[in-house]
């Protein structure tokens, strides 16, 4: 007997597959992470991230303009200071003349409000020890002293022109303290993108080259254990309770279960960061001819969206926008509605 239900009927042609596609990625969902480095006269390639560079202020402006032209939703800035400017507390991060704040000012001057300008609100790029916070006498990261530093950092970034600040250090209470600090400083409209579930991942390696990290040791005492799924949702719910405007899961591809959990529970937009190691692996495999680069990139990003990401941070954002623009149809993401059980 022939089966009465034939799923293959909806897979017969490209037009049919496009018609019934459940998940679609749009350029406006994409955020481009960029690095701006002090003291450069021209962009410097990042060896472990093919196609990614550390920008000068001038090339950063051009990249921001390209992002607007491509229809991207946002740009996330990371600052790379001079080695001589690093200290134990990362104080250069909050200085108005620090490279990150100058980068924010440059991008806002170039594109205004045509692009959502986001900034990394963390100390790891700016400390001489490479940790995400202020160290205590025993050499561990002091949670509360670090949160105080994050508030100063966030306020300085808001004053430089950031639309969104992104606390990524995984300190307890950081979102609430930053919200109160921004409001008290007269920046109630600056949003907080909380790195809510950030894992102590092996896939961050190339990023550390990109920011010139001085890290010795590891960050397992404050970033999450990759073995823990429920903890990721709990972290996100705590950030929601503290007033996060957007919550994020990082990394993305290897944490789709956590991303799906957070997306189901969250009543604010959910972001996911396709991190440097995820990018580097696909680039390396494609360079060796083992996989089709465009197909692999598109599939990986689509899967992140399918798991529940409304916003995707990816180093391929500009290329993806070109590919999506060239596709027969480009529609915003559609997926099943989520429960709002906050």
pLDDT band per the 50, 70, 90 thresholds, residue 195: very high
Q: Are 228 and 235 in contact (CB under 8 A)?
A: no
Indicate the pTM of the whole model.
0.92
Q: Average pLDDT of 200-208?
A: 86
Cis peptide before 340 (omega within 30 of 0): no
What is the rounded distance in angstroms from the CA atom of residue 235 to the CA atom of residue 309? 17
pLDDT band per the 50, 70, 90 thresholds, residue 216: confident
Predicted pLDDT at 1 = 62
The owner of tokens 């790029």 is 125
Inter-CA distances, 15 with 28, 136, 300, Å: 24, 60, 22
Q: Average pLDDT of 35-62?
A: 96
- pLDDT of 79 > 50? The answer is yes
Predicted pLDDT at 327 = 67
**pLDDT tens, residue by residue, 122-142:** 999 999 998 999 999 999 999
Q: Are 148 and 177 in contact (CB under 8 A)?
A: yes
- Identify the CA nearest to 60 among candidates 94, 85, 90, 37: 37
Least confident of 7-11, 62-66, 301-305, 326-330: 326-330
Q: Are 25 and 317 in contact (CB under 8 A)?
A: no
pLDDT band per the 50, 70, 90 thresholds, residue 116: very high
3-class DSSP state of 70 = helix
Q: What residues does 31 pair with on adjacent strands?
A: 74, 313
φ, ψ dihedrals at 125, nearest 5°: -70, -20
pLDDT band per the 50, 70, 90 thresholds, residue 332: very low
The owner of tokens 């929601």 is 240
What is the rounded distance in angstroms from the CA atom of residue 101 to the CA atom of residue 96? 6
* Catalytic residue set: 198, 250
pLDDT band per the 50, 70, 90 thresholds, residue 254: very high
Inter-CA distances, 78 with 3, 159, 340, Å: 56, 16, 32
Predicted pLDDT at 3 = 76
**pLDDT tens, residue by residue, 94-111:** 999 999 999 999 999 999
Strands 53-55 and 116-121: unpaired
What is the rounded distance in angstroms from the CA atom of residue 45 to the CA atom of residue 342? 43
Domains in the chain, start-ordered, CATH in brackets?
Answer: 24-326 (3.20.20.70)
């Amino acid at each position: 007997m022939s089966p009465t239900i034939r799923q293959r009927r909806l897979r017969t042609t490209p037009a049919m597959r496009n018609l019934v596609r459940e998940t679609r990625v749009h350029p406006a969902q994409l955020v481009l992470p960029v690095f701006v480095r002090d003291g450069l006269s021209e962009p410097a390639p990042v060896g472990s991230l093919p196609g990614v560079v550390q920008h000068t202020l001038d090339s950063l402006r051009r990249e921001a303009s390209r992002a607007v032209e491509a229809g991207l939703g946002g740009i996330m800035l990371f600052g790379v200071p001079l080695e001589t400017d690093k200290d134990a507390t990362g104080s250069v991060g909050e200085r108005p003349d620090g490279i990150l704040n100058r980068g924010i000012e440059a991008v806002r001057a170039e594109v205004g409000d045509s692009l959502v300008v986001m900034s990394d609100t963390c100390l790891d790029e700016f400390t001489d020890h490479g940790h995400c916070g202020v160290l205590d006498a025993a050499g561990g990261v002091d949670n509360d002293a670090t949160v105080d530093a994050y508030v100063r950092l966030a306020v300085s970034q808001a004053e430089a022109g950031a639309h969104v600040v992104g606390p990524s250090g995984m300190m307890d209470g950081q979102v609430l303290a930053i919200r109160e600090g921004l409001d008290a400083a007269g920046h109630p409209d600056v949003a907080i993108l909380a790195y809510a579930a950030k894992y102590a991942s092996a896939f961050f390696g190339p990023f550390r080259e990109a920011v010139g990290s001085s890290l010795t040791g590891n960050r397992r005492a404050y970033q999450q254990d990759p073995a823990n799924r429920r903890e990721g949702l709990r972290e996100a719910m705590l950030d929601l309770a503290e007033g996060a405007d957007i919550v994020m899961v990082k990394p993305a591809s290897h944490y789709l279960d956590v991303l799906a959990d957070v997306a189901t529970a969250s009543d604010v937009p959910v972001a996911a960061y396709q991190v440097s190691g995820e990018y580097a692996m696909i680039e390396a495999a494609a360079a060796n001819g083992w996989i089709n680069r465009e197909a692999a990139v598109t599939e990986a990003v689509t899967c992140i969206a399918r798991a529940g990401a409304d916003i995707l941070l990816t180093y391929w954002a500009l290329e993806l926008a070109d590919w999506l623009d060239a596709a027969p149809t480009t529609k915003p993401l559609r997926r099943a509605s989520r429960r709002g059980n906050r």
